[in-house]
Structure 1
Amino acid sequence: MEKWGWIYMRVSGVVLVVLIFGHLFVNLMLGEGIHALDFAFVAGKYATPFWQWWDVLMLWLALIHGANGMRTVVNDYVGHQGIRKTLVVVIGLAAALLILLGTLVVFTFDPCNGVFQDGAMWATCHPGS
């Protein structure tokens, strides 16, 4: 088990570096840079499956990578077996919950959800009305 955790940390770390620098480059360097980051920018990115999967892959790898690192720290420094098992379960549940919620947000993102008639997005979400 520990061998696979160690291998995962190395492989996911390399993939995360590529994903994170790609994410930062597209969001901060291309176009107008940081000044273009707003709700419409995110809505435009999440309208394409490529960016949805890019961000979900980054989310999953980062959360599993972090949870695995925390599991390693707990295993190394918590002496009481019951407390150690409890903490590892809590870390796993927290990571699973965040993965579930994050994935749900990315794939169900609707920029027109909750737009009111007097809002700035009304004309974009309801053209011709």
Structure 2
Amino acid sequence: MTAAYDPPATRGIEAPRAPKKRVAGRRSNFEMYSWLFMRLSGIVLVVLVLGHLLIMNVLDGGVHKINWGFVAGRWASPFWQIWDLTMLWLAELHGANGLRTIINDYSRKDGTRFVLTILLAASVLLTLGVGTFVIFTFDPTLTSK
């Protein structure tokens, strides 16, 4: 008995211009968008942080002038509130995205990965919530007794 010859052209190779079939279980573009976010947020963060350091430590008289009154005067302006809020959100999300990548790369068990990801998400939400709350509810009229 001889096996039937199956020529290579009939083994399921599609024609070059055949429409692509979507593979079941194929992942979305989340990782690509995550990678792109890291690059773009990093560029924006460089501008925000260097501007922050330049203004706070060089142009406004140095670090010894930073106190309650300085922050109160600065956050009286919506411009500086938005500047600091943008810096907070981008830094937190940028760092969390990096940690998410590290968790996915180095956690061996699915259960461990799940728990670490939940802890990361909870810490991000807490930090963003408290930071945003402080920036928008800061009361410069409070005095310490």
| Class of the TM-score when normalised by the shorter of the 2 chains | 0.7 to 0.9
The structure that is helix-richer by fraction is 1
Aligned to 2:39: 10
Percent of aligned pairs sharing the same letter: 47
Aligned to 1:39: 68
Aligned to 1:65: 94
Render the CA deviation track for 1:96-119: whole Å, top value 9, x for unaligned. 110011000001000223x26xx5
Q: TM-score, normalization: structure 1?
A: 0.86
Alignment of 1:14-93 (within 5 A): 14-93=43-122
Q: CA deviation at 1:49?
A: 0.2
Q: Where in structure 1 do 4 or more consecutive aligned residues deviate above 4 Å?
A: none
Size of the aligned set, in residue pairs, is 116
Secondary structure of the corresponding residue to residue 68 of structure 1: helix
Segments of 5+ residues of structure 2 without an aligned counterpart are 1-29
**Which protein has the larger Cα radius of gyration, Structure 1 or Structure 2?**
2
Give the counterpart letter for 2:39 in structure 1.
R
Segments of 5+ residues of structure 1 without an aligned counterpart are 120-129
